[in-house]
Amino acid sequence: MNVKKRPVSKLPEVDFSNLGFGKYYGDHMLLRRYVNGTWQESEILPYGDILLSPANITLHYAQSIFEGMKAFRGEDGIVRLFRPEQNFARLNRSAERMAIPRIDEKKTLEELIELITLDQDFTPPHLGSSLYIRPFIFATDPTLGVKISETYYFMIITTPVDAYYGRNLQTVGIYATKEFTRAAPGGTGHVKAAANYAQSLYAAKKAQQKGYKQIMWLDGLEHKYVDEVGTMNIMFVIDDTLVTPTLKQGTILAGITRESVLQLAKDLGWKVEERKIAFKEIIKAAKKGSLQECFGTGTAATIAPVGRIGYDDGEDIVINNNEVGPYAKTMYEALLGIQYGKRKDPYGWTVEIKKD
């Protein structure tokens, strides 16, 4: 793989005490082109703009997919990737649904490790922050015809970030809508397609205007069952049981953090259920006092406790007095403990980056 290093690093420009999310970018990026029916050899290049035709097919018809993963710097100074092979497997599932050529997962992981090794100094040193890694693929044919593209770019860029909802574990408010629909059976709800996120923005804006952080989607057929939240999967603790929506309908993204949390929960001895959850059940449990906690899970959000849920009847479900509960706190510490190397990793989830 050809590697062209940036002559002068941008690292001194990074304010690690105030990272935000997507404010700074690493020195390098990975680029691979798909032409003549095959993926070409990858390159690592200095991070920078790319040239696109105004007729680029993705700009018009959104044939684009992406992933989100993170690298964490432990107290021992070692940078660790978290389950990157799962991200590339999911990227290929997205590619299949969006008629995009699949990538070689093993080779891509090796190239990712080389990129992160090169830019590992951009990984923040404090708990709660990380190096966010964005792999993505988009079509590049310069045409206005509605068709499957014959050319693509696969790229990986990195950005040092704070936690999506702040460094400290704190509650957020979400709004359950019956007005808008995120996904329906047979659609693309189970893949990380760029268009899924574009069409969610207006609904999220409406929720934010009402004073909530994010939108909570209900099923697209009846607006009766809980699906997921805009940036994360959702979990509830009802009568000491961790309950989360099933993936069987094909409308929910199979989150890697979600899967990890469910595994950790079972190993912690928690009762766990994956099933359809009627929103009326959540309202009933809240009124009964059996809804103990609610929290979101995701790469960007990690563990995001939910303190209140608004809904179309103009009421709020207040959960655990709008405070972080013991289940969310325990899971947060267990998950981050593995990610930052503070706890043993019995699952083989982390990939250590050798010091450059």
User: Residue 59 in contact with residue 144, Cβ under 8 Å?
Assistant: no
Task: State how many domains the chain has.
Answer: 2
Do 14 and 147 fall within a single domain? yes
Contacts of 132 (CB under 8 A, 6+ apart): 21, 22, 68, 69, 70, 158, 159, 160, 161, 299, 300
Q: What's the 3-state SS for 78-126?
A: CEEEECHHHHHHHHHHHHHHCCCCCCCHHHHHHHHHHHHHHCHHHCCCC
Domain coverage including residue 237: 172-339
Residue type, 176: A
| Together in a domain, 257 and 328 | yes
Closest CA to 183 of 244, 128, 254, 131: 254
What CATH number has the domain bearing residue 70?
3.30.470.10
For residues 139 and 119, give the distance between their C-alpha atoms in angstroms, rounded to a whole number.
27
Is residue 140 domain-shared with residue 282, that is, in the same domain?
A: no
Q: What is the CATH number of the domain that holds 224?
A: 3.20.10.10
What pLDDT sits at residue 99?
Answer: 98
For residue 80, pLDDT beyond 80: yes
Residue 182 shares a structural domain with residue 157:
no
Most distant CA atoms of the chain, gap in Å:
63
Give the rounded percent of residues in the chain with a pLDDT score beyond 90.
94
Do 210 and 255 fall within a single domain?
Answer: yes
Burial (CB count within 10 angstroms: exposed 0-12, middle 13-18, buried 19+), residue 18: exposed
Inter-residue long-range contacts of 6-9, CB under 8 Å, 24+ positions, other chains counted? 6/46, 6/47, 9/121
pLDDT digits 0-9 by tens, 191-250: 999 999 999 999 999 999 999 999 999 999 999 999 999 889 999 999 999 999 999 999
Judge if 185 and 61 occupy the same domain: no
Residues 239 and 305 both lie in one domain: yes
Are 158 and 14 in contact by the 8 Å Cβ rule? The answer is no
Q: What are phi and psi of 339, to 5 degrees?
A: -60, -35
| pLDDT tens, residue by residue, 294-330 | 999 999 889 999 999 999 777 899 999 999 999 999 9
Please check whether residues 239 and 284 belong to one and the same domain.
yes
**pLDDT confidence of 95, banded at 50, 70, 90?**
very high
Task: Determine, yes or no, domain membership for 91.
Answer: yes
User: Are residues 92 and 126 both part of a single domain?
Assistant: yes
- Is residue 328 included in any domain, yes or no? yes
Residue that is last in its domain, among 113, 131, 161: 161
End of a domain among 100, 126, 161? 161
Residue 351 falls inside a structural domain: no
Cβ pair 349, 260 in contact under 8 A: yes
pTM for the full predicted model: 0.96
